Amino acid sequence: MKPLLSGLLIMTLCFAASGRTISPDHQFIEYTGRIDFTDSTAPAFSYSGVSIRACFTGTNISAVLDDNIGGNIYNLLLDGKLVDTLHVARGLKTYVLAKGLENRAHEIELFKRTEEMFGKTRFCGFIVDEGSSLIPIQNKRSRLIEYIGDSITCGYGNEGGLDQTFGPDTENHFMTYAAITSRQFNARHLAVCKSGIGIYRNYDGPVEGSPDNMAQFYPRIFLWDPKPEYDFAETPDLVCINLGTNDFSTQGGDPICFRDNYLRLIDTLQTRYDNPDIVCLLGPMLSDEALATVRHLLQNIVADANKEGQGRVSFFEMSPQTGDRGMGTDYHPTVAQHQKNALELTGFIAKLKGWEISR
């Protein structure tokens, strides 16, 4: 039977009366991303790509979400397949994720496709049929890849066009080079990204640097909140950094400040994690002199980082966009460009790590 998909709002108390509430701290719920567990009964998050995944028995499942703005959009995956999008409203609401399913084990996943500017969400639990329960996830994802980036990694405008104004409907992190690459290896996916951010200087920022740059704010769970900090409890198998576009896309970028802050971020990763493999990415939005400048800087940064001997650091350049795959909102990469870059990055990582491509 075809499920009744998300987007249907119902009264929380009405559904709870005929269903079983699963607390967010249930042992069989898998969380991936920058998430604040200070309140274990309502974990909160704002970055792109946060994933909440679980397996359940029964025919129906809903999620209780509390969003502070109402601008976020989530992809809904059922049994590993993308089936719908969920536009959340402001406030505490219950959303039907699937209804009328075959009475057997199913996997459900909520994947945040919009970036932090569209608000924070608290996850307040699942609701399943009476007599149903969560069971251990059957499709184990043993690998974890982290991506640190700007609007490219967010997916800014990848589902829009040059004639469209940027908004949540034009952004889909699920269809970025980063998320696509993670799926190629059946890896869990962690993203720390914000449109306009730089390693030392945000878009069109002062030459001396922006105080809210990625090197400075990276340890935070929420970009604009100094506390809580991320605990770095789980070391990724690989970290990909895609920064530099905003530092040099307008005049005034300082190579020395860029180098110092980039090495500072690498040092943070190597210190806070257990020396993960790091890939410094370039592309696909820069061109001409800016492209040559950032390429030269990144190659030298990688060489300097490897001299320190604290972990393996690599450089990879993705193909620049030429317009043959269209242009997204504000000249950002389209989904087609992201798919091309994901194919390139997947091949590079497969050789670097010796991983088999799973899909």
| Domains contained in the chain, number | 2
pLDDT of 7 > 60? The answer is: no
Query: Of 114, 135, 156, which residue is a domain's last?
Result: 135
Give the model confidence (pLDDT) of 148-171 as tens digits: 999 999 999 999 999 999 999 999
CB 149 within 8 Å of CB 341: no
User: What tens digit of pLDDT does each residue of 209-228 get?
Assistant: 999 999 999 999 999 999 99
- DSSP secondary structure letters along 85-139: EEEPPBEEEEEEEE-S--SEEEEEEEEE-S-GGG--EEEEEEEEETT--EE--SS
Query: What average pLDDT does the segment 74-83 reach?
Result: 97
pLDDT at residue 70, rounded to an integer: 96
Rounded to an integer, the average pLDDT of 62-79 is 98
Mean pLDDT of 226-241: 97
- Averaged pLDDT of the chain: 94
Together in a domain, 261 and 302: yes
What is the share, in percent, of the chain residues with pLDDT greater than 70?
95
Q: What pLDDT is stored for residue 8 in this prediction?
A: 39
Classified as helix, coil or strand, 343 is: helix
The confidence score (pLDDT) of residue 309 equals 79
Same domain, 89 and 211: no
CATH number at residue 179: 3.40.50.1110
* Same-domain status, 106 and 174: no
Does residue 50 lie within any of the structural domains?
yes
Question: pLDDT band for position 3 (50/70/90)?
Answer: very low
The answer to whether residue 1 sits within a structural domain is no
Residue 254 shares a structural domain with residue 297: yes
The answer on pLDDT for 274 being more than 80 is: yes
Asked if residue 150 belongs to a domain, the reply is: yes
Please give the Cα distance from 255 to 192 (Å, whole number): 23
Taking the C-alpha atoms of 253, 259, 261 and 265 in order, what is their torsion angle to the nearest 10 degrees? 130
**pLDDT for 10 beyond 50:** no
Q: Which are the contacts of 11, defined by CB distance < 8 A and separation ≥ 6?
A: 94
For the segment 2-14, the average pLDDT, to the nearest whole number, is 38
Is the pLDDT assigned to residue 311 strictly greater than 90? no
Q: What is the mean pLDDT of residues 296-310?
A: 94
Structure tokens at 350: 């497969």
Q: Are residues 123 and 27 in the same domain?
A: yes
- Is residue 275 domain-resident? yes
pLDDT tens sequence across 16-40: 436 899 999 999 999 999 999 999 9
- Give, in order, the Cα–Cα distances in Å from 65 to each of 78, 122, 196: 18, 6, 28
**Is residue 191 assigned to a domain?**
yes
d(CA 201, CA 254): 9
Q: Which tens digits make up the pLDDT trace of 332-343?
A: 999 999 999 999
Looking at the fold, whether 291 and 157 belong to one and the same domain comes out as yes
Asked whether residue 1 carries a pLDDT value surpassing 50, the answer given is no
Mean pLDDT to the nearest integer, 262-281: 96
109 touches 53 (CB < 8 A)? yes
- End-to-end alpha-carbon separation of the chain, Å? 27
Within-domain flag for 311: yes
> Does one domain contain both 198 and 292?
yes
Residue 199 belongs to domain spanning: 144-353
pTM for the whole thing?
0.94
